[in-house]
Structure 1
Amino acid sequence: MKTVIQGPLAGTSGGDIAAQALRACVHCGMCNATCPTYQITGDELDGPRGRIYLLKQALEGQPVSQTTLKHLDRCLSCRACETTCPSGVQYHRLYDIGREAVVEQVGRPWTERLVRTVIRRVTRSAALLGPALTVGRLVRPLLPKTLKAKVTPRIEAGPRPGPRHVRRMLMLTGCAQAAAAPHFNAVTARVFDRLGVSLIEAPKAGCCGAVSFHLDAPHEGADAARANIDAWWPDIEAGAEALVVNSSGCAAFIRDYPDVLRDDPAYAEKARVVASLVRDPIQVLSTADLEARRAPTEPRIAVHEPCTLQHGLRLTGRIGTLLRSLGYEPQPVADSHICCGSAGAYSLLQPEMSGKLKAAKLANLNARQPAAIYTANIGCWMHLAPDSTAPVRHWIEAVDEVTRP
């Protein structure tokens, strides 16, 4: 696709990345076949090909409008189109750069800016989200439907082993996860401890930055990336083997730190090192000497593979394979490549579209009446758990069940 970037991005690294992505697109439309929003609306502008045309127009200096932004905002950033694309178009990089440019040109009403600011402030801070969830649990019946669906039950974290092994890996504490599901990290630490690996959380590490980056605050997201790199760097220099991230959305974003900090000479190389160390737990456990000590209590399960796991980290099928080797019976899930509608803050900002995707996903996950559904991302867990027939858990809880003493 011939293109000439004009305006503020001309001659910049961002402009070069966008131009490369645009030129790789051959207009084939295969991406529309796996785009969740296109499947719902049937509108070309709600599919990757249409959005690419909108971004091309914007980046070449043509007029943009609120209609342009509306169709861009409907994108889930699920990256299913990247998995489908035969030309290797890096859509998410083009989309992040282009939407920021459109927002700067068009602007948003103050009400939308306020909502995005509140979401960023609350979700990226466990100190704020934790109390908010506590209050939400007390008044849940009185909350609007959209907020009610985000109030997850309180679950005890359980014991957390201290650092006692020679082998050490860093682990992301997280923000929403630290407040809503602290048991995810505790269970992960227990499983790794049995393998002779101690997981270390850097006290000053916080939110990965994804929420800010995708909610009109890319500089805030970049600052979060720098803060995390600073927090992890002493342990990396001391020989930490890896950075374990048990939320696939966070892992996919940290893998993009080199892109986020590409123009920062002080952090660009450190960002590449950190990104190279990121491991989803399945990457470690699938090659470990892991044996079941007992059979699963209820082996019939469904595995929900988040978009970030499938299309961001490219780890499709790995969780099901591991759980099957431990005695579980993962059931087939129709349309497993289609997004559940969580997508960070998308479910709050696009509740109608998100609700349709959520209903379809839960119907497919529960179709064969599994005893439980196992996912790999905190956002998907918070999105699906309140309305699912079967309980929704993190997949590493299934590993813990059959491997604990």
Structure 2
Amino acid sequence: MQTNLSEQSKLLPRAEEADKILRTCVHCGFCNATCPTYQLLGDELDGPRGRIYLIKQVLEGAPATAKAQLHLDRCLTCRNCETTCPSGVDYHNLLDIGRAVIDKAVPRPASQRLLRQGLRGLAPNPNLFRTLLQIGATFRPLLPGGVAAKLPHDLPATGERPVPRHARRVLMLEGCVQPGLSPNTNAATARVLDRLGISVIPASDAGCCGALDYHLDAQAMGLDRARRNIDAWWPHLENGAEAIVQTASGCGAFIKDYGHLLERDPVYAAKAQRVSELALDLVQVLADEPLERVCAATDQRIAFHCPCTLQHAQKLGGAVEAVLTRLGFNLTAVPDSHLCCGSAGTYSITQPELARQLRDNKLNALESGHPEIIATANIGCQSHLNSAGRTPVRHWIELVDHVLR
């Protein structure tokens, strides 16, 4: 694709990157075939090719508009298009660049600004988030249906978390909303790793990965959170911690991008690259471990929902399924497993109607094999799918923990 960036766009910090990505696109349209929003809406501008054109026009000097902003907002950033694209277009980074330019030029309505600011203030604060969840559970009958559905039901007992005692040590991102919505996930992870001779060491100064801010009109704030996490983890990495484990694939995908997003930061570039190299999804840690020695699976029928951030962003599609199959779990077939469930971080809150349609389509596919339970690898997907009140959804490590010998 030929480009002619405006003089103003050439001054952007990532202008050269944007130009390179745009030139990679051959506008073949293969991406639209696997784009969830294009499939729902049938609008060229609600598919990757159309969104690329919108960003190109703005970077070439066309005025940014609220209509263009809406089409970019509707993107899930599921990155399915990147898996499909034969030209290797780095779509998600172009989208980040385009969104930042358009959001700076087009003020949002007050209601949207308040919603986004509220999400940025609430979700990255685990203690506040957990407190509000408890209050919400108490007053569930008085809450609007959409809000009440987001509150967790019947959380499994967390159980004990082993103290560090092994020579092999890893860090673990505790997450923002996961401790409140699914507190057993990280505890189960620590128990499974402990049985394999790996201790999880705490890094209390680490917080939100930064993805939420970065994707809600506050990219600079998101990168500041990344720097704080690097500072919190660095002493442990220097002291022998072998990896930074993520149990939420959405967080993992963003941390693995630290090196790219901070490559122009003279202070943090090298450290960010090292952190990205050591950031591993839980399945990457367990894939080569002798789990069969400590686990004995049951014949319970399970459908696995592979999050977009695992299969399209981290390119780990099939990895969890391989581990679960190896352990003897009975996995059911899932049609169209490449499609997004509609969670996409805060998308289910900022674009609720589209998110509900995608969720129900995904559940229909997941339930087609009549599973007793659905497993996933991302707290956002888990919470979103559970909000329908249908087949229960758990993190896959909880199922493994449950069958520890």
| Letter of the structure 2 residue corresponding to residue 120 of structure 1 | R
Matched, 1:78 2:78: yes
Runs of 4 or more consecutive aligned structure 1 residues displaced over 4 Å after TM superposition: 292-295
Measure the CA separation in 2 of the matches of 1:60 and 1:73.
Answer: 20
Is 14-23 or 152-161 further displaced after alignment? 152-161
- Match of 2:344, SS state, is coil
| Contact 1:366/1:389 (8 A) holds in 2 | no
Aligned to 2:168: 167
Post-superposition shift, 1:299? 2.4
Matched, 1:202 2:203: yes
- Match of 1:332, SS state, is coil
| Identity, % of aligned positions | 53
Measure the CA separation in 2 of the matches of 1:170 and 1:126.
Answer: 18
Post-superposition shift, 1:293? 5.4
Alignment of 1:170-249 (within 5 A): 170-249=171-250
Structure 1 unaligned runs (5+)? Answer: none
| Letter of the structure 1 residue corresponding to residue 63 of structure 2 | P
Measure the CA separation in 2 of the matches of 1:213 and 1:62.
Answer: 25
Q: Describe the shift of the 1:66–1:12 C-alpha distance in structure 2 as closer, same or farther (beyond 3 A).
A: closer
Post-superposition shift, 1:292? 5.7
| Contact 1:155/1:183 (8 A) holds in 2 | yes
Post-superposition shift, 1:400? 1.3
Alignment of 1:4-403 (within 5 A): 4-153=4-153, 154-291=155-292, 295-402=296-403
Q: Provide Cα deviations, 1:326-352, integer angstroms capped at 9, x if missing partner.
A: 111111101111100000110001011
Post-superposition shift, 1:198? 0.4
Q: Provide Cα deviations, 1:162-220, integer angstroms capped at 9, x if missing partner.
A: 11000001110111112222211100000001110001120100000000000000011
| Contact 1:301/1:330 (8 A) holds in 2 | yes
| Contact 2:25/2:89 (8 A) holds in 1 | yes
| Contact 1:3/1:22 (8 A) holds in 2 | yes
| Contact 1:35/1:81 (8 A) holds in 2 | yes
Post-superposition shift, 1:401? 2.1
Is 257-266 or 27-36 further displaced after alignment? 257-266
| Contact 2:171/2:241 (8 A) holds in 1 | yes
- Match of 1:334, SS state, is coil
Measure the CA separation in 2 of the matches of 1:6 and 1:195.
Answer: 56
TM-score (norm 2): 0.97
Q: Describe the shift of the 1:10–1:156 C-alpha distance in structure 2 as closer, same or farther (beyond 3 A).
A: same
Post-superposition shift, 1:295? 4.5
Measure the CA separation in 1 of the matches of 2:340 and 2:35.
Answer: 9
Is 152-161 or 288-297 further displaced after alignment? 288-297
Measure the CA separation in 1 of the matches of 2:17 and 2:233.
Answer: 28
| Contact 2:298/2:328 (8 A) holds in 1 | no
- Match of 1:21, SS state, is helix
TM-score (norm 1): 0.97
Measure the CA separation in 1 of the matches of 2:385 and 2:227.
Answer: 31
Measure the CA separation in 1 of the matches of 2:310 and 2:43.
Answer: 27
